[in-house]
A and B are shown apart, each in its own frame.
Chain A
Amino acid sequence: MSPAIGGEAAGLLAADGAGWSREGVAERARRDLRSGSFVNLGIGIPQLVADFVEPEAEIYIHSENGIIGAGPGAAEGEEDADIVDAGKRHITLVLGASTFDSALSFAIMRGGHLDYSLLGGMEVACNGDLANWAAPGRTPGVGGAMDLVQGAKEVWVLLLHRGKGGESKMRVRCELPLTGAGVTTRVYTDLGVFEPAGAAFRVIERAPGVTRALLEEATEAPLEWPEPDA
């Protein structure tokens, strides 16, 4: 656990100086989580958010396999076979945790009882569509992704703005199979913070060192700028 906020030494900035690192994206999203909330962290950058949640914040992490109060990974030699997270890693439980069966766990998601669902993404569109479960050439496992995007009060997508080939993941329409239509309420990337606004992404914040020109170039969808541009 390293609750280091804002420090370059903590590796929160991208190596090339433009924007955040993966850890930086996680730390930025964590700053917007309210104390005393319940949150599910999906595979990918969302998992890193746990490293920035201080125990005194009383932010409880839900794991789809039946846990509220999922804690850090178990130390070597102290693993309990009956305590795993959604990625099947051996973890620990925090004080005040509860465990329950899968039917209740998914009732928690669909029933609107989670404050936040944070998911990774392959593509996200300015109409709020999210694609994060099926990519070409991969065995499609859907897991709990389609449930996680329904019902949580806020659905945040945390992803790198561009793919390995430089292609924008911030799109007008998703080309990959959808996880959910119109479900995304906020997007955190290495280049900034955004809200799907229908025909464009509304820019909430530019990451450190990111120019307006870079953001325009890296985003396939139109951008809607605050007035005046902050």
Chain B
Amino acid sequence: MDKFTDDIGSVVAQIPDGATLAIGGFGYAGLPLTLCDALCEADRRDLTIVSNNIGGEDRGGGRLAREGRVRKFVGSFPIAPVFTEQLMTGRAEIELLPQGTMVERLRAAGAGIGAFYTATSVKTSLADGTYPSRYDADGHPVAFMAPKETREIDGRLMVLEYALHVDFAFVKAHRADRLGNLQFRLAARNFNPAVAMAAKVAIVETEEFVEVGDIEPDDVHLPGLFVDHVVLSEGAAR
């Protein structure tokens, strides 16, 4: 079993236009920059991007948005002015999720949980069907996020949230071996395990590629069975 390749181009080539892609990272920490750059160079478009934030950074999701490749953003922090402009002129859509709901929906997808109830967002515009998901060319709302089913559980109102499955995931690891075993570092772990779990195909870039056994069993943060491909981050040495 060898999931490692130097050929980033052919790994990224399997992602078609219109794919749903989840990207790990919080700001630049744990953001798979090399893979995002490769996707831009492959000229993919109409993507649905699931990631915590978009556009706080020049690269990663920020670059995908700037180059007009994002058809829909699913996440908690859409702060790129360029994405806002695309949204308000009907060229992009949004599904705005509370951060913890987003990561739990991804985790649920990978864990075989169909849906779950949470108090997060109950009695807010993100749950009652009033938050616009799409605008026309003049900035008038033409579609809204679906209202969430609400139920009282243990005396507390909660909303129903469904698992969030994705076609592909981009993951950034600190160390990886050819089996795909991953070790993350400090606060760069963030969404990376959840996006890998939720994806049909998880593509990892790593700062360091190591021999099988170099990552102690206790230090494997994500077992290789969640991982399909491993490439090196730009500037990293094998």
Contact = CB atoms under 8 A, between A and B. Distances in A.
Closest 10 CB pairs of A and B: A106-B100, A147-B100, A88-B27, A146-B98, A141-B77, A181-B123, A82-B188, A144-B99, A82-B186, A102-B103
A139 to B, nearest CB: 5
A145 B99 CA distance: 8
B98 A103 contact: no
The majority secondary structure among interface residues of chain A is loop
A215 interface: no
A178 B123 contact: yes
Interface stretch (A59-67, A162-170, A198-206): A59-67
Interface in A27-73: 63-67
A151 interface: yes
Interface stretch (A10-18, A93-101, A189-197, A218-226): A93-101
Given A66-B187, A150-B119, A106 B29 contact: no
B186 A106 contact: no
Given A65-B29, A84-B29, A103-B107, A144 B124 contact: no
A88 B56 contact: yes
27 contacts: A64-B99, A65-B29, A66-B189, A80-B186, A81-B29, A82-B174, A82-B186, A83-B29, A84-B27, A84-B29, A100-B189, A101-B192, A102-B103, A103-B107, A140-B96, A141-B77, A142-B96, A142-B98, A142-B99, A142-B126, A144-B76, A146-B98, A146-B100, A146-B126, A151-B119, A178-B124, A178-B125
A84 B78 contact: no
A104 B76 CA distance: 17
A114 interface: no
Contact of B190 (A101, A134, A177, A181): A101
Q: Which residue, B77, B98, B123, B194, has most C-beta atoms of chain A within 10 A?
A: B98
A181 B122 contact: yes
Contact of B26 (A102, A142, A145, A180): A102
A110 interface: yes
Contacts of B121: 146
Interface string B25-68: 01111100000000000000000000011001000000000000
A122 interface: no
Interface in A95-126: 99-103, 105-107, 109-110
Nearest to A147: B100
Select the residue from B124, B126, B184 with max chain A CB neighbours within 10 A.
B124
Contact-size category for A: 35 or more
A7 interface: no
Contact of A142 (B77, B107, B122): B77
Given A84-B29, A146-B120, A103 B193 contact: yes
A179 interface: yes
B101 interface: yes
Contact of B120 (A65, A93, A150): A150
A141 B98 contact: no
Contacts of A82: 29-30, 174, 185-188
Given A65-B187, A146-B121, 9 more contacts: A64-B99, A65-B29, A82-B187, A84-B29, A99-B187, A134-B125, A141-B53, A150-B120, A177-B125
A139 B78 contact: yes
Nearest to B157: A181
A181 B123 CA distance: 6
A210 B26 CA distance: 42
Nearest to B125: A177
Contact of A103 (B26, B103, B184, B188): B103
Interface string B87-110: 000000000111111011011000
B186 A109 contact: no
Contact of B194 (A99, A102, A177): A102
B191 interface: yes
B9 interface: no
A77 interface: no
A177 B188 CA distance: 32
A228 interface: no
A130 to B, nearest CB: 10
Nearest to A80: B186
A135 to B, nearest CB: 13
Contact of A110 (B30, B100, B187, B192): B100
A146 B124 contact: yes
